[in-house]
Structure 1
Amino acid sequence: MLSNIRIVLVQTYHPGNIGASARAMKTMGLTDLVLVNPRRFPDPEASRLAAGAEDLVDDARVVGSLQEAVADCVQVVGASARLRSLPLPHFDEPADMARELVEQGADDPVALVFGRERFGLTNDEIRCCSHQVSIPANPDYGILNLAQAVQVLAHELFTAWRRRPDSGYRPALPATERQPTREQLDHFHDHLSRVMQHSGFITQPHARTEAHLQALFARARPSRRELSLLRGLLGSLERHLPDE
């Protein structure tokens, strides 16, 4: 289960934070590290701060966008202060997030995403996520550095994995009943947006309407089979719309 849990660091500024995050991951049994446009990498400081987790640093994948980093994931949780302007489902307790990621990670890749040291994730990057999570902390001083945040949430994941019910073998879900990947959801939302505009439901791209609909489907969590049915419905409606 833990091998399917991916830690994604977005535009890390200090290379030492990459090494320290890798060390935090390794102590909790996590091994899949993906870096989105780090400022400096590879860098000796990243290896030095890894302190025994150099293998995770050496194996880290570097990609050009968050969308690319999580395209194959069925659940993507953005670690950030709660952004109430974005109606994504939010885990108020990290333990709840960890239990769900461990469960989803039994069959498919999932991701936990951390933003920049200074200002975290942008709104557009949060929209690449299916959920948000925040770390409860002292309201007068709730600042954690990047590696500390990775350590706290990695510990929650390891604890959830360690406490999972030992009820024996659980057969894998059929592919059609599993959660869709972020790439599949992106294609669906693009299709939905196209039909809404062509049908006159919206007359121009409307970020707020589309964000609310994305949040609706994030809460509903359709299976791959259900998403295919929705794509079929959209396709049928599209064929009956007048040509532009």
Structure 2
Amino acid sequence: MLANIRIVLVQTYHPGNIGASARAMKTMGLTDLVLVNPRCFPDSEASRLAAGAEDVVDNARVVGSLQEAIADCVQVVGASARLRSLPLPHFDEPEAMARELVAHAEDDPVALVFGRERFGLTNDEIRCCSHQVSIPANPDYGILNLSQAVQVLAYETFKAWRRRPESDHCQPRPAEERRPTREQLDHFHAHLSRVMQASGFLTQPHARTEAQLQALFARAQPTRKELSLLRGLLRSLEESAQDD
């Protein structure tokens, strides 16, 4: 199950932070590392600071976008040091986040996403996530190095995995009862946007309205079967409009 928990680093500037993050991951049993447009990789500094976790660095995948890194994930948690105006579900405590993440990882890939060393994730990147999480720290100096943040959340995840109830060790849930992937949700939101614009509900692209609807469905956490029903409803509305 730990193999289903992915660490995603977005545009890491210092290659040494990749190695240090890989070391933090391996100490907590995590091995799936994806790098989104790193400035310099592969690099000897990444391997040097991995200090025994060179296999995690060597097996890291490099992709061109955050969407590509998380397309198959059913839950994507963006680590953010500051609260934002985006209405996504937010975990104030990493421990609560880890319990939910581990529960979803029983059946499907999930991801923890970390941004750039200097300014973290952009608002557009946070919108790609299903949830946010912050690490409680000294309000007068709450600055964590990238690998330190990875270590804290990886530890909470490993702890939640060790403490998961025995009743969770069961047969995989049927596919229709599981959470949709980010790619499936992206298709749904694109479909919803087309229908809203065609119906006149949106007369022009309206990022705030669409972001609020995305947050609504993130909070609702529909199953794949429920998302399929919603897609069927949208198709029916499209066909009805065409007949008129």
- Name the TM tier (shorter chain): over 0.9
Q: Are the aligned partners of 1:176 and 1:223 in contact in 2 as well (CA < 8 Å)? A: yes
Amino acid in the other structure paired with 1:138: N
Q: Output the aligned Cα RMSD.
A: 1.2
**Structure 1 runs of 4+ with >4 Å offset:** none
Matched, 1:194 2:167: no
Shift of 1:81: 2.4
Whole-Å separation in 2 of the counterparts to 1:242 and 1:173: 38
Unaligned runs of 5+ in 2: none
Unaligned runs of 5+ in 1: none
Amino acid in the other structure paired with 1:19: G
- Decide whether aligned partners of structure 1 residues 105 and 118 sit closer, same or farther in structure 2, where only a CA change above 3 A counts: same
Correspondences of 1:170-209 after superposition (within 5 Å): 170-209=170-209
Match of 2:137 in 1: 137
Correspondences of 1:53-68 after superposition (within 5 Å): 53-68=53-68
Give the secondary-structure state (helix, strand or coil) at the position aligned to 1:241: helix
Matched, 1:36 2:36: yes
Is the deviation greater in 78-87 or in 10-19? Answer: 78-87
User: Percent same amino acid at aligned positions?
Assistant: 84
Give the secondary-structure state (helix, strand or coil) at the position aligned to 2:179: coil
Shift of 1:242: 4.6
Match of 1:149 in 2: 149
Q: How many residue pairs are counted as aligned between the two chains?
A: 244
TM-score normalised to structure 1 length: 0.98
- Decide whether aligned partners of structure 1 residues 200 and 38 sit closer, same or farther in structure 2, where only a CA change above 3 A counts: same
Match of 1:220 in 2: 220
Give the secondary-structure state (helix, strand or coil) at the position aligned to 2:118: coil
Match of 1:23 in 2: 23
Deviations 1:188-244 (A, max 9, x none): 000000000000001011000000000000000000000000000000001122589
Match of 1:107 in 2: 107
Is the deviation greater in 82-91 or in 59-68? Answer: 82-91
Is the deviation greater in 159-168 or in 93-102? Answer: 159-168
Give the secondary-structure state (helix, strand or coil) at the position aligned to 1:85: coil
TM-score normalised to structure 2 length: 0.98
Give the secondary-structure state (helix, strand or coil) at the position aligned to 2:201: coil
Shift of 1:51: 0.1
Give the secondary-structure state (helix, strand or coil) at the position aligned to 2:241: coil
